[in-house]
Structure 1
Amino acid sequence: MDFNEIPVDRLEPGVLIEVRANYRNAGIFAWPEKALIIGQKLAAGTITPGQIIEITRAEEAIAYFGRGSIGAEQVAFFKKANRNTPLSIMALADAGGAVKATGTFTFVGAVQAASTIRFKVGGRQVRITALTTDNVTALATKLAAVINADLDMVATAVAAAGVVTVTSRHGGEVGNEIDLRVDTKNEPIPAGLTITVVAMSGGSGNPLVQSALDAIANTWFTKLTTPWNDATNMAALAEWLRVRYLATSKLDCHGFVFKRGTFGELSTFGALTNNAFLTTGGLKKSPTSAWSIAASLMGIAAFHLTNDPARQLRSLVLPGVEAPDPVDQFLDTENDLLLRTGISTFDCLSDGSVVISRVITTYKTSSLGTADRAWLDIMVPATMSRIRYDWATYVSLMYPRSKLVDDDTDGANVQRFNGDEDPGTAVVTPKRMKASWAARCKLYGENVWIEDVTRTVKESSFARSNSDRNRLDGRPQVQIVGNLMVFAQALEFQV
């Protein structure tokens, strides 16, 4: 019998009872889900770049990032989708010399009948009352005033001679993502008046995310999103996520970065990375900013993949995310092609909401450049992370101080007595470790994370290293459960 607290040579009489946990029949260990938003802050934001703060309420982000900041909007959309997962934030300020994106609304003509005109800036609605006495200069002045009155808007405006110039509050390419539109779904533009919209552009000089990633190199986070989708930042994030998943790191984290764009632009964006731990996506001309869509999806994924990492996310609604106009929605054939380039896809419903179609990673080819779908769906890394975490936790708790011996030796059976089926944990052998693996796989199978348990356990192997007698090598096998994504049929009628 092995004891941790009772000496083997004690002479003093007494009843000594050592209390300890036996993890032999422990269920699945809880997954410590923890999300991180790295956002862009304004000068008024109180958070220091590199500082990590856990928050529980969306309104806290307003003070930390600054009102009207991208970071505050990211948090708001995450919290709409997920109020349960622990959320931390980090921030980067505008890069030195960054240029702010601008766009315009231009009024031409005259209002023939008083009416309300609705606009959207970055998905936030503003409206003005247009009177027959208002000339284009007056209309532009009104619009600029209501834009500036919305302190949570990620842009500001100035008016001059019938033109409203909208400027991102933040510098960098990220400002080009802000959507500008006249919202004619409910009310048309009044007769006699035309309003021309020039999309946001000209922003350049995003912050570099690498400094934030370096600050959390050894910190546990399972989900992460940033608003910067330029090639430099995407490459840095992809490499950071890859290293986190290595066996020597075991700090599994999944990233979410989105972009607003056409079919061609999103195809190019998806091709930037080839990473099993990064999800990219986007919509064409959605009123909702790309960073908000990414934060919303991360919230959904963090909640539902924690509940069941092997279950697809299809049909789940992204709260607060607005669908593009029907003319700007991707066709089924375009969505299929986008999936092949590493872009996750979504369905747009008639009520203007957006639901998940298929969430994938950007992994497309092996290290040899051959097409490979092994890591295609987000459920694959999610499930393997859960199994790896559970198995490593179980082994650490079951065999924290075990001696290692070969199978079928005297030491291998030293703990067995009186027919006891529990051999204890002082000694471990390859066969004993395989039995432990089989027991855990039974739990994974009962949770329907994996299938064909009997076969994969049989194919799993554990062996003591020939070169290091203190090392046990293993090659455990699993087959991740499938999901019903395609239902192909031939519906025939009899003649």
Structure 2
Amino acid sequence: MTITFDEIPYDLRKPGTYVEVAPVYDRKSGTYGWPARAVLLVQKLSTGSAAAATIYRITRPAQGASLFGAGSIGDRMVQAFKAANKTTDLYAIALADKGDGVQATGTFVFTGPATAAGTIAVHVADHRVTVGVAASDSATTIGAAVAAALTAVADLEVTASATTGTVTVTAKHKGEAGNALQLAVNPRIDDVMPAGVGCTVTAMSGGSGNPDVTTLLDAIAAEWFTGAVTAWTDSTSLAALAAWAAERYTAMAHKDVKIYWGPHGTFGQLGTLGGYTNSPHMPSAPGANRSASPPWAWAASLAGIAEAQLAADPARQLRGLALPGIAAPASADRFTEEEQDLLLHSGISTFEVDTDGTVRLDRVITTFKTTSDGAESDAWLDITVPATLSRIRYDWRAHTAATYPRHKLASDGSPAAEHSPTVVTPQKLHGSWAARCQVYERNGWIQDATETVGRSSFERDADDRHRVNSIQRVKVMDNLIVLAGRLEFEV
């Protein structure tokens, strides 16, 4: 064997004992650490200190309000992610509202006067604001009190004003996001409207004009992020995000990223949203109708859970994990099992609700539904598939870079490969792949490694003497998602 050194000159004549120290990676038994790093793509208010299209590292939930403004989309997304995940390295980057955008509005129209004292509970998104009512209070008095109480909540997503008995709430942000904010009066089963008082609620609507997400994507193009969370779900934004994620997944870019987004709406609206993209890199938050928690909070919460759990084990499904702080829709607004199954065929994830109202993930899927020629396919359906393949690719690249950093290339059977530790052959590379696959199989990321390694191949390129081409087969680990049984009884 010819021994070579990186630090000791080959023609050194000075007497002495010289020892260089270097790690050897060819027998590394574990995988290389996955550098999970998430970024929130958010909208900011003028009250936030953040500069537009500038990346900020987030370590505390309170940074959301200071950077992006209290009650902003960015504020809520930071809080939702941090409630679900306190350890993953988190960043955020924001845009101000689109200049010619329009703010969504809604109303609470009160009637009176009250004939008895009582309390009104006004809900804006998942904020509950209670207002005391005295006997004989007029509609005008009640409206003014409600507007004042809403205005006093700094992190509310809306502003409020009153004219006679009509309270108009206006989204703090311009854009479509404000349309998703839910309004309600006395929604709980034990809420009681004061005698003589009535209220008609008009849902938020009219918001339009989202910022251009490509401005943010250009700003973070060179950065490594494993997860990005979007506040925008319009077709233009989702298409741009899908194209950006696809480009980052290519062999020449290898900056794999998952785009988390939050679809909200009726069953029909969710089906439309799921059809906007056909991407293996876009896991959706569970589709919900009339949840008090806004869709960007659902997306950030899912990202917090998924980025932590998939870093620990990319092949393990997320079913049963809770989304902390996320409000479940009322029972009447939840989808039936048949509707949930149809949503899972439309690129929309699903959820379940505990008796105490806790929202739990059911099946988290991507928007991938068909091949490039339009044939139905479930190849990239579950979030675990692209997550596992990203992890394997990252580990293989790290392993080969560490094991063969400056190696020469020879053909199989070369005497140089037998005697020199700095010469590699296609057969040696195939052996390294087999060893790594054993690690992946022990981790439960892949299955049938003996078979797939046998169907993998490494060969020298016919035209480029410095290149090896390979086909590396794996079979991603399955998950127990459906257990179908036939229970027979004897008669």
Aligned to 2:436: 440
Mapped to 2, the partners of 1:131 and 1:443 lie a distance apart of 70
Out of 133, 138, 142, the position equivalent to 2:141 is 138
Aligned to 2:410: 405
Query: Gaps (5+ residues) in structure 2?
Result: none
Out of 349, 352, 355, the position equivalent to 1:347 is 352
Aligned to 1:418: none
Mapped to 1, the partners of 2:149 and 2:360 lie a distance apart of 31
Contact 1:323 1:349 in 2 (8 A): no
Out of 439, 442, 445, the position equivalent to 1:449 is 445
Task: Tell me how large the CA RMSD over aligned residues is.
Answer: 1.0
Query: Aligned AA for 2:272?
Result: T
Q: Which secondary structure does the structure 2 equivalent of 1:232 belong to?
A: helix
Give the Å deviation of 1:192.
Answer: 3.1
Aligned to 2:111: 108
Contact 1:177 1:259 in 2 (8 A): no
Mapped to 1, the partners of 2:5 and 2:473 lie a distance apart of 34
Q: Provide TM-score, normalisation by structure 1.
A: 0.97
Mapped to 2, the partners of 1:288 and 1:330 lie a distance apart of 17
Aligned to 1:328: 333
Give the Å deviation of 1:137.
Answer: 1.0
Mapped to 1, the partners of 2:171 and 2:94 lie a distance apart of 17
Mapped to 2, the partners of 1:70 and 1:409 lie a distance apart of 62
Mapped to 2, the partners of 1:77 and 1:404 lie a distance apart of 51
Q: 1:139 to 1:215 in 2, by over 3 A?
A: same
- The residue correspondences of 1:337-486 to structure 2 (distance < 5 A) are 337-415=342-420, 424=421, 426-486=422-482
Give the Å deviation of 1:409.
Answer: 1.8
Aligned to 1:23: 25
Contact 1:412 1:429 in 2 (8 A): yes
- The residue correspondences of 1:37-436 to structure 2 (distance < 5 A) are 37-185=40-188, 186-281=190-285, 282-415=287-420, 424=421, 426-436=422-432
Mapped to 1, the partners of 2:438 and 2:412 lie a distance apart of 23
Contact 2:122 2:186 in 1 (8 A): yes
Give the Å deviation of 1:260.
Answer: 1.9
Following TM superposition, the consecutive aligned residue runs of length 4 or more in structure 1 with deviations greater than 6 angstroms are none
Give the Å deviation of 1:279.
Answer: 1.6
Contact 1:38 1:91 in 2 (8 A): yes
Contact 2:112 2:137 in 1 (8 A): no
Out of 10, 13, 17, the position equivalent to 1:11 is 13
Q: 1:209-237: CA deviations, max 9, x gaps?
A: 00000111111001111111111111111
Query: Aligned AA for 1:129?
Result: G
Query: Aligned AA for 2:482?
Result: V
Mapped to 1, the partners of 2:295 and 2:458 lie a distance apart of 46
Contact 2:117 2:195 in 1 (8 A): no
Identity of aligned residues (%): 46
Query: Aligned AA for 2:116?
Result: A
Give the Å deviation of 1:184.
Answer: 2.6
Give the Å deviation of 1:340.
Answer: 0.5
Mapped to 1, the partners of 2:330 and 2:93 lie a distance apart of 34
Mapped to 2, the partners of 1:189 and 1:445 lie a distance apart of 61
Give the Å deviation of 1:477.
Answer: 0.9
Give the Å deviation of 1:110.
Answer: 3.5
Query: Gaps (5+ residues) in structure 1?
Result: 416-423
Mapped to 1, the partners of 2:101 and 2:451 lie a distance apart of 57
Mapped to 2, the partners of 1:202 and 1:153 lie a distance apart of 19
Q: 1:239 to 1:164 in 2, by over 3 A?
A: same
Aligned to 1:493: 489
Give the Å deviation of 1:414.
Answer: 1.8
Mapped to 2, the partners of 1:115 and 1:96 lie a distance apart of 43
Contact 1:82 1:303 in 2 (8 A): yes
Give the Å deviation of 1:349.
Answer: 2.0
Aligned to 1:32: 35
Contact 2:115 2:136 in 1 (8 A): no
Q: Provide TM-score, normalisation by structure 2.
A: 0.97
Contact 2:121 2:186 in 1 (8 A): yes
Q: Which secondary structure does the structure 2 equivalent of 1:381 belong to?
A: helix
